[in-house]
Amino acid sequence: MSLLETENLTKNFGGLRALDNVSINVKKGELHSIIGPNGAGKTTLFNVISGVFPPTSGKVKFNGKDITGLKPYQISHLGIGRSFQVISIFPALTVLENVRLATQSRGSYSFNLIKKVSDLKEPTEKAYELLEKVGLREKASWKAGQLSHGEQRLLDIAITLATNPILLMLDEPTSGLSPEETTKTIETIRELAEDRTILLIEHKINVVLDVSDVITVLHRGCVLAEGTPEEIQRDVEVQKAYLGVR
C-alpha cells in the first residue's frame, strides 16, 4: 500500500528546472532510497515533499491525502519526519535535553513554558527510549557538542524520531562519517526500518545497494530508473550516468 506519492512533481528556480515531472511511489514498510549525481535534484525533492519549497507544479500525497503546499510544521504533524544534510542540534544542551525538547513538541507539553523539568516524566522516558534505540543512552548527560560527528548524526536521527514520524526521511545520514561510524549508523537505520517506512538519500552506493528495498535514480531532475538493487545494478543507463561502466 502506498504511503507517499509524488505526481509529476516539478520545481523551477528561475530558469533552472531542479525537478522535472518526478513521480515516485513509496510503499508502507519499505526502505526506499534516492540516488543520483550531485545536482540531480535529490535534496530539492526532499525539500518539496517536506514543505520547505512549494512545487512549481505537480502533487505530493501522503497517506492518501494531498499535502501539496502545506507548511513544514503541518507536514511534520501529519507524520513525516525529516533530517537534513547539515546536523541540526543544540550543542550547549545535553543529549537528553535535545531529544526531550523534540518529544515536547507533541502532545500537551509544547505550550507549557513554566512546567518543571521534574514534571516532564513522560517526555523524559520517551527521550531515553529513543537514545537507547540509537545507542546514545549512556551519553545522555553529555553536552551534545561533545559528541563525535557520527554520534551527532545519530542524535539528529533521535530528534527526528521524537516527532513520531510514520515516514522517516534521511538526507545523507552517513555524510562525513568514518567507516566505523558509517557501519554504526547503517545498523541503526536497518533496525529502524523494521517497524517504519524510510526514504533515504545516500551517496555511498555500497550502502544503498545493501539496505534498500527499492531505489529511485534521479538524473538532471528526472527519474532515470527505479527498481530493486539488482535491477538498478543491471540498468545500462544508470551505469552510464552514475555507477560507471567498464
Q: What pLDDT score does 106 carry?
A: 78
Q: What pLDDT score does 124 carry?
A: 92
Q: What is the 3-state secondary structure (H, E, C) of 219-246?
A: ECCEEEEEECHHHHHHCHHHHHHHHCCC
Sheet holding 167-171, edge to edge: 80-82, 167-171, 197-201, 31-35, 214-219, 222-227
Contact 144, 156 (CB under 8 A): no
Q: What pLDDT score does 107 carry?
A: 67
Cell reading at 245 = 561502466
Contact 17, 11 (CB under 8 A): yes
Q: What pLDDT score does 239 carry?
A: 86
- Residue range(s) occupied by CATH 3.40.50.300 in the chain: 1-79+165-179+197-246
- 166 vs 3: CA distance, rounded Å: 9
State the fold for domain 1-79+165-179+197-246: Rossmann fold (3.40.50)
Mean pLDDT within 76-100: 93
